[in-house]
């Protein structure tokens, strides 16, 4: 593949961890404009960047539909290869706002040379047209680099530590997890639940802030502190009510080789064949069941061995997917 600014990865509004990792692995320059609808500033800056850099290959991070429309139009004149990394929200709409912002632009996927999807489930569900099927491929989320040589500030002997990395998005069943954990600690006080991220995004959670010393809202943590907590935890919780999504918390848990408590969605079940216990994200009692299982040393030991084995398999699978992408780019 070519190097330098011959390849760029464009994102608007929010720069995803997946985009950062893909760009790093593939050696792509990232162009990010933190703008909000109607994206006028981001659109102008994107046009200027493409005119200045004249890249041969342009990756775009969806779901910003206007970005797809703009770059598809510019492709006719600048003649670059267009590759869309399609996140779940672009194709699968839960809210009316998501539908209004993204559905009108879905037809412009036909202008892409390659369409990258995150998992097989979303490809089977949404990529129906033969023209799109020929262009579509799956690349699973790259695993983030986790520094294992971290401080032991969260190291506590005899205490089982759960970490729930959260963005406090509406699809995360945080209250159900808290309610289940409050029941758990009545019988098992030697466990702690760490919930990371900005809880103020869900103001109704304020009532839980000081409800128990066993539930800790960490707030936003610097990367080193977060990795220290992750490495010193015993279980990673990654729950969503949303289908067709992978979850960055699951990727981080896999990278750190931690047993996972995951939502029982078709997507996550199809990916994580080992190393996880699955629970219903809408049922606090089922989450409690999963937490109780994770408290057992024998179960965690089995899951730990499984997740290490699965990590090797996952990395091998991802390398094959990336090799296919690189060959496609070379011959496109």
Cis before 289 (ω within 30): no
Backbone angles phi, psi at 2, to 5 degrees: -75, 170
71 and 197: one domain?
no
Residues 95 and 226 in one domain: no
What 8-state DSSP symbol labels residue 25?
Answer: H
Note whether residue 329 is domain-resident.
Answer: no
Regarding whether 294 and 184 lie in a shared domain, the answer is yes
- Write down how long the chain is: 332
Question: b/e for 239-260, b at 16 or more Cβ within 10 A?
Answer: bbbbbbbbbbbbbbbbbbbbbb
* SS3 call for 29: strand
Contact in structure between 229 and 218 (CB atoms under 8 Å): yes
Do 292 and 189 lie in one domain? The reply is yes
Look up residue 242 and give its two tokens. 């949303």
The pLDDT profile of the chain, 332 residues, written as one tens digit per residue, is: 334 479 999 999 999 989 999 999 999 999 999 999 999 999 999 999 999 999 999 999 999 999 999 999 999 999 999 999 999 989 998 878 778 888 899 999 999 999 999 999 999 999 888 999 999 999 999 999 887 766 566 667 789 999 999 999 889 999 999 999 999 999 999 999 999 999 988 888 989 998 999 999 999 999 999 999 999 999 999 999 999 999 999 999 999 999 999 999 999 999 999 999 999 999 999 999 999 999 999 999 999 999 999 999 999 999 999 999 999 888 76
User: Are residue 128 and residue 201 in the same domain, yes or no?
Assistant: no
What range defines the domain where residue 19 resides? 4-139
The answer as to whether 229 is a domain residue is yes
List CB contacts of 90: < 8 A, sequence separation 6 or more: 62, 63, 65, 102, 106
Indicate the burial class of 214 (C-beta count within 10 angstroms; 0-12, 13-18, 19 or more).
middle
Question: Domain check: are 190 and 135 in the same one?
Answer: no
Tell me if 150 is assigned to some domain. no
Do 84 and 193 lie in one domain? The reply is no
CATH code at position 120: 3.40.50.2000
Q: With contact defined as beta carbons under 8 Å apart, do 61 and 10 qualify?
A: yes
| pLDDT of the residue at 1 | 37
Q: What's the number of domains the chain is made of?
A: 2
What pLDDT score does 4 carry?
43
What's the confidence (pLDDT) of residue 317?
Answer: 97
pLDDT at 154: 65
> What tokens appear for 21 in the block?
């990792």
Whether residue 256 sits in one domain with residue 178: yes
CB atoms within 10 A of CB 289: 15
Domain contains 126: yes
Q: Is residue 327 part of a domain?
A: no
Bridge-based pairing state of the strands 136-138 and 114-117: parallel
- pLDDT at res. 3: 40
Rounded to two decimals, what is the model's pTM? 0.91
């Amino acid at each position: 593949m070519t190097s330098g600014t011959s390849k760029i990865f464009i994102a608007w509004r929010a720069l995803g961890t997946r985009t950062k990792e893909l760009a790093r692995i593939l050696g792509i320059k990232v162009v990010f404009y933190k703008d909000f609808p109607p994206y006028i500033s981001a659109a102008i800056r994107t046009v200027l960047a493409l005119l200045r850099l004249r890249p041969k290959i342009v990756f775009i991070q969806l779901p910003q539909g206007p970005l797809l429309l703009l770059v598809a139009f510019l492709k006719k004149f600048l003649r670059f290869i267009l590759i869309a990394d399609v996140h779940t929200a672009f194709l699968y709409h839960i809210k009316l706002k998501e539908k209004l912002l993204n559905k009108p632009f879905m037809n412009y996927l036909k202008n892409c040379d390659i369409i990258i999807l995150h998992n097989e489930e979303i490809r089977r569900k949404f990529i129906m047209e033969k023209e799109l099927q020929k262009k579509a491929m799956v690349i699973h989320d790259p695993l983030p680099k986790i520094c294992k040589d971290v401080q032991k500030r969260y190291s506590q002997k005899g205490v089982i530590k759960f970490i729930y990395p959260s963005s406090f998005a509406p699809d995360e069943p945080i209250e159900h997890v808290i309610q289940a954990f409050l029941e758990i600690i009545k019988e098992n006080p030697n466990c702690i639940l760490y919930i990371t991220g900005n809880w103020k995004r869900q103001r109704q959670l304020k009532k839980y802030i000081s409800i128990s010393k066993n539930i800790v809202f960490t707030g936003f943590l610097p990367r080193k502190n977060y990795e220290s907590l992750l490495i010193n935890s015993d279980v990673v919780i990654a729950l969503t009510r949303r289908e067709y999504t992978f979850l960055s918390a699951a990727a981080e848990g896999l990278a750190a080789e931690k047993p996972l408590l995951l939502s029982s969605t078709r997507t996550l079940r199809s990916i994580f064949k080992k190393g996880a216990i699955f629970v219903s994200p809408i049922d606090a009692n089922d989450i409690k069941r999963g937490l109780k299982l994770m408290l057992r040393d024998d179960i965690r030991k089995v899951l730990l061995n499984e997740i290490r084995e699965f990590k090797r398999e996952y990395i091998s699978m991802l390398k094959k997917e990336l090799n296919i992408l690189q060959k496609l780019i070379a011959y496109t």
